[in-house]
């Protein structure tokens, strides 16, 4: 029994930690101080019945807190999905937003049942919520997460395209000067960027096909990796161009 109490108190402590440093964890996720104080004052319970009652009370509080956190999590995700502005994913974003809203309603509905729970019932309740969450909420949340990620990536894609256009001008002029290194690097940068774009588009297809979130995430990740490679090549390319142009400019400047 003592061990069990220690375990239960342990959950209490760790659940307090749920409120630390997480943007999504607003006031609802911070455990009620009075509940905690009530626990400390319990001391050594007099009877078996008292122990049961205290444990049940504690369990109900903890389940409540967990559901509050779940509601808050879904709410924050929904807000982020609603704020993501990618027109390509508008339809899917709306669907996911609706599903997240439904999840919140589910949690709220379940929360109403907590006062009527018994000890064994509270365990079954937690188990049912877990099963529901894994089967229903988690896939939706993963897709929501992917939508937010993909939307943010478009700014990076646009920035990379801008860079390519910017550097492309210099490279085109430099074609006149035989420089295979620069031309090859330029080609390499474009190939990487095209691959990034292909994966980016592939992610959209995954969303539209309601593919597994892991599949979509894999495409998103690959597009970013190709984008990273593009920048790696561009940085080298700009260095090469700088070296080349300083060689050309120097004799000119020295002539004055």
Partner 1 sequence: MLDGELHIIKRAVEGDSSAFGQLYDHYQPKIYRFTLVKVSHREEAEDLTHQVFLKALQSIGSYKDLGFPFSSWLYRIARNQVVDYYRTRKETVRIEDTDPDEMPEKHPAHDKLADKIEIERTQKALRKLKPEYQDVIMMRFVEDLPIRETAIALGKTEGAVKLIQHRAIKELKKTLTENH
Partner 2 sequence: MEDIIKQLKKLQHIEPDRLFTERSRAALFGVQKSRGTWGLILRNVELGASFALAGILIITIFGGFSTWRFLSPFKLSNLDTTGLKAEAQAVDVQIELTNLNYDEIINTVNLESTESVSALVKNKGKSAPLPLFEQEEGNVTEGSVTEAEEISDTISIEEALEMLAK
Residues 20-49 interacting with partner 1 (rule: CB under 8 A): none
Residue 213 found at the interface with partner 2 (CB under 8 A):
yes
Contacts (CB under 8 A) with partner 2, residues 150-209: 152-153, 156, 159-160, 163, 166-167, 169-170, 173, 175-176
Residue 119 interacting entry, from partner 2, partner 1, none, C-beta within 5 to 8 Å by type:
none
Residue 15 interacting entry, from partner 2, partner 1, none, C-beta within 5 to 8 Å by type:
partner 2
Rounded Cα distance, 133 and 120, in Å: 20
Residue 103 interacting entry, from partner 1, partner 2, none, C-beta within 5 to 8 Å by type:
none
The distance of closest approach from Cβ of residue 206 to partner 1 in the complex, given in angstroms and rounded to an integer, is: 7
Q: Which residue has the tokens 């120097």?
A: 250
The distance of closest approach from Cβ of residue 83 to partner 1 in the complex, given in angstroms and rounded to an integer, is: 26
**Helical spans, DSSP H, in the chain:** 2-17, 33-40, 48-83, 90-111, 119-132, 138-174, 180-208, 213-254
Burial class of residue 141 (count of CB atoms within 10 Å of its CB; 0-12, 13-18, 19+): buried
| Total binding residues toward partner 2, as defined by CB under 8 A | 76
Closest by alpha carbon to 238, among 178, 175, 189, 176? 189
Which CB atom, from 89 or from 144, has the smaller least distance to partner 2? 144
Region near partner 1 per CB under 8 A, out of 64-72, 176-184, 218-226, 243-251: 218-226
Q: Does residue 155 contact residue 92 with C-beta atoms inside 8 Å? A: no
């Amino acid at each position: 029994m003592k061990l069990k109490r220690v375990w239960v108190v342990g959950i209490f402590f760790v659940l307090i930690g749920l409120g630390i440093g997480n943007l999504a964890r607003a006031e609802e996720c911070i455990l009620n101080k009075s509940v905690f104080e009530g626990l400390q004052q319990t001391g050594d319970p007099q009877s078996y019945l008292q122990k049961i009652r205290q444990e049940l009370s504690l369990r109900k509080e903890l389940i409540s807190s967990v559901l509050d956190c779940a509601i808050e999590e879904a709410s924050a995700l929904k807000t982020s999905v609603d704020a993501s502005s990618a027109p390509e994913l508008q339809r899917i974003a709306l669907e996911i937003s609706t599903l997240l809203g439904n999840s919140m309603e589910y949690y709220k509905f379940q929360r109403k049942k907590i006062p009527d729970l018994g000890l064994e019932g509270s365990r079954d309740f937690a188990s049912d919520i877990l099963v529901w969450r894994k089967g229903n909420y988690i896939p939706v949340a993963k897709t929501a997460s992917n939508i937010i990620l993909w939307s943010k990536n478009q700014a990076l894609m646009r920035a990379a395209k801008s860079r390519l256009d910017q550097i492309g001008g210099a490279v085109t002029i430099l074609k006149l000067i035989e420089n295979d290194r620069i031309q090859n690097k330029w080609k390499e940068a474009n190939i990487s960027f095209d691959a990034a774009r292909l994966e980016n588009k592939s992610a959209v297809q995954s969303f539209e096909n309601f593919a597994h979130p892991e599949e979509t995430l894999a495409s998103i990740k690959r597009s970013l990796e190709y984008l990273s490679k593009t920048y790696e090549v561009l940085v080298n390319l700009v260095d090469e161009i700088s070296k080349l142009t300083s060689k050309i400019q120097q004799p000119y400047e020295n002539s004055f």
